Amino acid sequence: MQRRNFLIWVSRMLGSAVAALVALPGIQYVWSTLSSDTSVSNTRRRIVRWKDLRPGEPVQFSIYGERRDAWHIEPQQVIGRVWLVRQPEGTSPAAQGVTAFTSICPHMGCQVQKSAADASFVCPCHRAAFKLDGNPLQQGAERNHTPRGLDQLPCELVKDDAGDLWVEVEYQRFEPSLTRKVIKA
């Protein structure tokens, strides 16, 4: 290579390296805003009247909220789903509370469904099964892939001005595939 060509090649390489250094923070910023899920979570929602739930019958509800990323804000989007299970009859409303679970499977994040066969939950992806109290359910010899029980959400009965009890849930998301429950940042 001639000396002149070599110098041109070196100056181009240096120019490319400097350009890459200058562009890197911008690329990192764009990548982080595109790849991060900044939709609303850790949000309290009033879901349903307590008296409209039947004891021992799970019902699924959608959680609505604002979904946003670096460039868009979309109001009133479904940001999650919860299963509510009212405790069996025979106790006072205070004791006959409601248990709330996120519908996201703790194995790999599919949507857990109510079993058509019995009082349990099942995940359609890898057949993880759960009791109505959220604990893993062993079904025969079939392996239950879930690393933990269904993720329970903070849930409270709140009286309105008319004296009706409402179920309020704090919606959260959790890291999948871990044996312990870790809230997603």
Residues near ligand FES (CB under 6 A): 105, 107-110, 123, 125-126, 128, 145
Q: Using CA atoms, how far apart are residues 144 and 151, in angstroms rounded to an integer?
A: 16
**Please, what is the minimum distance in Å from the beta carbon of residue 174 to ligand FES?**
13
Two structure tokens written together for 10:
């070196």
**Please, what is the minimum distance in Å from the beta carbon of residue 184 to ligand FES?**
16
Q: Using CA atoms, how far apart are residues 163 and 73, in angstroms rounded to an integer?
A: 36
Between 76 and 179, CB nearer to ligand FES: 179
Between 112 and 169, CB nearer to ligand FES: 112
Strands (DSSP E) found in 53-164: 59-68, 73-86, 98-102, 113-114, 120-122, 129-131, 152-153, 155-159
Residue 107 per-residue DSSP state: T
**Please, what is the minimum distance in Å from the beta carbon of residue 181 to ligand FES?**
15
**Please, what is the minimum distance in Å from the beta carbon of residue 185 to ligand FES?**
21
Between 79 and 129, CB nearer to ligand FES: 129
Between 49 and 126, CB nearer to ligand FES: 126
Strands (DSSP E) found in 87-164: 98-102, 113-114, 120-122, 129-131, 152-153, 155-159
Between 96 and 139, CB nearer to ligand FES: 139
**Please, what is the minimum distance in Å from the beta carbon of residue 95 to ligand FES?**
32
Which amino acid is present at 78?
Answer: V
